[in-house]
Chain A
Amino acid sequence: MPEILDQARTQVLENGVGLDEAGVLAVLNLPDEHLPAALQLAHEVRMRWCGPEVEVEGIVSLKTGGCPEDCHFCSQSGLFTSPVRSVWLDIRALVEAAKQTAATGATEFCIVAAVRGPDARLMKQMREGVAAIKAEVDIQVAASLGMLTQEQVDELVEMGVHRYNHNLETCRSYFPNVVTTHSWEERWETLKMVRESGMEVCCGGILGLGESVEQRAEFAAQLAELDPHEVPLNFLNPRPGTPLGDRPVVEGKDALRAVAAFRLAMPRTILRYAGGREITLGDLGTRDGLLGGINAVIVGNYLTTLGRPATDDLKLLDDLKMPVKALSATL
């Protein structure tokens, strides 16, 4: 057994203290023959510190495309020659999307907008949309609207938005290679305001942007320092027309190493499979991750791409005897 896994068994599994950057890097560098042991340990950590439940979430894009920012992975930037056109979802369709999500048994519904930060029109649409969802659908509402002012944070709390997603996307040292129109520190500022407001913090990122293994470890350590309630883990799905459109997808075993390593860095967080798992891991890899530290999934479609049918994921959870988290429960 590699020394790092022995150390993690004591430090993380028994004492609930996450691995530091050096420890995460050691896990990310484990040879293939030790990957099953790393996943098994990460699964034990998840079961010990989070329990067997899986949090299921659906997401929808309230405002698609036309974003002024230049996040190099994103097909919704108005600065690239992506085929994605700008479009707004109306309130009726938003409520219907929340109903579709709730019908899967999901407890979370995240409303997302491709913006630098919300303007008055978007905040008005949020106010009306969140109120309409709360009147008709039994589901918790989260939001992801870019960088916020303190007034907007307060307003989202008032609306009843219980969790706010704002991904750091990658580590601090690599961020300028991915985004040039705003800084990692600006994102961190929004996250601090969200935390202080009492909303749950949801913050993760994307693997496969060209970062090194060392930078993946740096990212895990920075997320652990933030200590978010939820970490969505995406794998790059290279989008036509974006600067990262020709990058290779993350190799499946590297993705699974990352799942185990991020869990060992953050034993108590909700670690969610988000975009890109279908092309990076396929069905078998998805199962391996759920038995290797993942305890939440996005079901159904993503913002501009499609996921596998929600029924497939729900059947997998049933096969694995992992109960879906109920609305009244907390992880």
Chain B
Amino acid sequence: MTVTELWCDRCGEQAAAGGHEPCAAARALEPPRYCAHCRRRMKVQVVPAGWSAVCVEHGEIRG
């Protein structure tokens, strides 16, 4: 998560509200679920060597 992102990509709550250290730790073993720009739930596909997450508004990210 970067400072320009408004929402936590794991729990979907406001990033600025703080308290997302557990989310950041969990994200080491999880793909994002919420778009950090608009809070929409993303369509996430996990494959053996990576993942992709698609927000209908902000497009695809991969990891």
Footprint of B on A, CB under 8 Å? 58-61, 64, 83-87, 89, 93, 96-97, 100-101, 104, 237, 240, 278-279, 299-307, 310
Contact residue among A58, A240, A278 (Cβ-Cβ distance under 8 Å from B48): A58
Check A301–B43 contact: CB distance below 8 A: no
Check A84–B45 contact: CB distance below 8 A: no
Q: Residue-by-residue, is B3-31 near A (CB-CB < 8 Å gives 1, otherwise 0)?
A: 00000001110000000000000001111
Check B41–A60 contact: CB distance below 8 A: no
> Which residues of A have CB within 8 Å of B29?
237, 278-279, 305-307
Check B42–A60 contact: CB distance below 8 A: no
> Which residues of A have CB within 8 Å of B46?
60-61, 64, 301-306
Q: Given A83-B12, A301-B50, A301-B51 in contact, is the A93-B45 Cβ separation under 8 Å? A: yes
> Which residues of A have CB within 8 Å of B45?
61, 64, 87, 89, 93
Footprint of A on B, CB under 8 Å? 10-12, 28-31, 33-34, 41-51
* Bound-complex Cα distance A68 to B58 (A): 29
> Which residues of B have CB within 8 Å of A96?
47
Q: Given A60-B46, A310-B49, 15 other A-B contacts at CB below 8 A?
A: A58-B48, A64-B45, A64-B46, A83-B12, A84-B33, A85-B42, A85-B43, A86-B43, A97-B49, A303-B46, A304-B30, A304-B31, A306-B29, A306-B46, A306-B51
> Which residues of A have CB within 8 Å of B48?
58-60, 97, 100-101, 104, 299-301, 310
Question: What are 13 inter-chain pairs, A to B, with CB distance below 8 A?
Answer: A85-B41, A97-B47, A100-B48, A100-B49, A104-B48, A237-B29, A240-B11, A304-B44, A305-B31, A306-B30, A306-B31, A306-B46, A310-B49
